[in-house]
Amino acid sequence: MSKAKVLPQYIAGLSAAFGAFCMGASMGWSAPVEQMLTKEEAYGFPISDDEFGWISSLLTLGATCVCIPAGFVIDWIGRKPTMLALIPPYMVGWILMIFANNVAMLYFGRFILGVCGGAFCVTASMYSTEISTLATRGTLGSFFQLNTVSGLLYGYIVGGYLPLLTINILCAILPLIFVTVHFFMPESPVYLAMKNRPEDATKSLKWLRGQDFDVSDELKEIMEETNKEDDEPKESVWKALRRPLTLKGIGIAVILQALQQWTGINAIMFYSTSIFEDVGSGLSGTICTILIGATQVIMTLIATMIIDKAGRRILLLISSVFMAITTCLMGVYFIMQESDPSSVESLGWLPITSILLFIVFFSIGFGPVPWILMAELFTDDVKSVAGSIAGTSNWFSAFLVTKLFPLLKNAIGSAPTFWIFTVIAIIAFFYCMFFVPETKGKTLIEIQHILAGGKLPPKNETETEAEKH
């Protein structure tokens, strides 16, 4: 019997994750255009620093508002149709950004872009893990974060060297590229099985695994798992969400998503240009921001290649240790700068090196892993809604961090602000050490058994235990 092909899975996974590229470009737009909007009045009307703060953060607020509704929609109409349906509102968002003649249009445009990007974050992550085999699940799950940071870099590059109108147009065409490619991809076989469409699920699996691959065993397993509740009393989503194992999984996923943001990544990414100009590094803010973006892409690509070999938990532990060290060093630099500016004249490299190392270790652990675990911890009947709750935690935390970071920086200073991130990274280390399970190479049944507090028993015992839950 032939082996399952990997390339079709990669193509479909990257296609879905291109929605994250669109969102990343929207996020990356903020840093390079800040001076254009607040100092140069590139739109033809004044924008204050506070208004720009809202323009930046409304993207994440929009994503916060849509995640839970998106969880219901993707179970109602499907993963692929949901992603395709996001393109018209995406275009509306960018049209508002292109033709804005007042701040309100920018607010609405950014909010709509956030809504579409947040819906993609739930749908694309779910889709990527559902089309994968056990051996490729971590890699495909990493595609979402890889495309997000690639989109950020795209936003940094076009934003750093082109006029505002051109930047907006080059970002606006990205959703059109997505719909052109993803239109030809298959629907998730798991969703098709949930809707009791075995023939369509077979076609999807054949597309993903290769026409010569025997998908009957995999199809049988998916159908049994997704439809086993048909023989039991129908359970509402809300009741299913209150199952002890589901609540435990939601707790882990929500906390990891919040920790991803509260360790400071979006504060650093959104305000990277300003940070570099503040430290007087000798390099332009644009160059340093692009350097950050390129570092993040390279390291996320490396994480994509090693995540199914190294494991999820160990990468989270390594990531949190180095994020704590680097944010602590940044705090030390800024406290020295505030007390005696001459003492750091030759240390402009320190915050830049610290930020780059922060990005390196964030990208191999806390960048991709929370998104992967979000799609791995739950049974199929609650996966969409439970995952969307975790996604809401991420975007709401991102909104709070991007709003609070400049306020804290002005109120208590840069050094204490970065030391807050240090403390949160230390908390993240101990949380991952004691509470986060290793899911590498585990089936859904095995993951559920680990959440129940048991070691892995023989396969037949594992199945029996999972059926109880």
381-429 pLDDT, tens per residue?
A: 888 899 899 999 999 998 888 788 878 888 998 889 999 999 999 999 9
Lowest mean per-residue pLDDT among 61-65, 137-141, 280-284: 280-284
- For residue 365, which phi and psi values (nearest 5 degrees)? -130, -80
Q: E-assigned strands of 157-316?
A: none
Instruction: Tally Cβ neighbours within 10 Å of residue 408.
Output: 17
Q: Once rounded to an integer, what is the mean pLDDT over residues 362-381?
A: 88
Q: What is the average pLDDT value for the chain, to the nearest integer?
A: 87
What's the pLDDT at 455? 56
Q: Is the pLDDT of residue 458 over 50?
A: no
Instruction: State the amino acid at position 201 in one-letter form.
Output: A
271 pLDDT band, cuts 50/70/90, is low
What's the pLDDT at 466? 41
- For residue 271, which phi and psi values (nearest 5 degrees)? -115, 25
294 close to 150: Cβ distance less than 8 angstroms: no
Lowest mean per-residue pLDDT among 93-102, 138-147, 233-242, 306-315: 233-242
What's the pLDDT at 351? 79
Rounded Cα distance between 368 and 307, Å, is 9
Structure tokens at 465: 């235990």
| Placement of tokens 């990527």 in the chain | 128
The fold adopted by the segment(s) 243-454 is Growth Hormone; Chain: A; (1.20.1250)
229 pLDDT band, cuts 50/70/90, is low
Q: Which of 398, 401, 405 is nearest to 67 (CA)?
A: 398
Enclosing H/E stretch for 160: helix 137-161
Q: Is the pLDDT of residue 230 over 70?
A: no
123 close to 70: Cβ distance less than 8 angstroms: yes
In this structure, what DSSP letter does residue 5 have?
P
Q: Is the pLDDT of residue 209 over 80?
A: yes
Q: Which of 144, 61, 60, 64 is nearest to 392 (CA)?
A: 64
Q: Which of 40, 37, 58 is nearest to 49 (CA)?
A: 37
Rounded Cα distance between 24 and 10, Å, is 20
Structure tokens at 275: 């940070």
- For residue 417, which phi and psi values (nearest 5 degrees)? -65, -45
* Residue 212: HSE in the Cβ half-sphere, 13 Å Cα cutoff: 4
Enclosing H/E stretch for 65: helix 49-76
Q: Is the pLDDT of residue 465 over 50?
A: no
Percent of the chain with pLDDT over 90: 51
What's the pLDDT at 459? 45
* DSSP per residue, 307-341: HHHH-HHHHHHHHHHHHHHHHHHHHHHHHHHHH-G
Q: Dump pLDDT digits (tens) for 82-118.
A: 999 999 999 999 999 999 999 999 999 999 999 999 9
CA distances from 273 to 159, 294, 416 (A): 12, 14, 20
What's the pLDDT at 279? 64
| 461 or 90, greater pLDDT | 90
170 close to 331: Cβ distance less than 8 angstroms: no
Percent of the chain with pLDDT over 70: 91
User: In the chain, where are the structural domains located?
Assistant: 7-185, 243-454
Q: Which of 394, 406, 403, 330 is nearest to 367 (CA)?
A: 394
204 close to 189: Cβ distance less than 8 angstroms: yes
What lies within 8 Å, CB to CB, of 424 at 6+ separation is 259, 262, 263, 264
Handedness of CA 121, 122, 124, 126 (dihedral sign): positive
Rounded Cα distance between 357 and 129, Å, is 29
218 close to 205: Cβ distance less than 8 angstroms: yes
Structure tokens at 391: 């996604």
Crossing angle between the packed helical segments 103-130 and 383-412, to the nearest 10 degrees:
140
Q: Dump pLDDT digits (tens) for 40-78.
A: 999 999 999 889 888 988 999 999 999 999 989 998 999
Q: Which class is 7-185 in CATH?
A: mainly alpha
Whether 243-454 and 7-185 are alike in CATH topology: the answer is yes
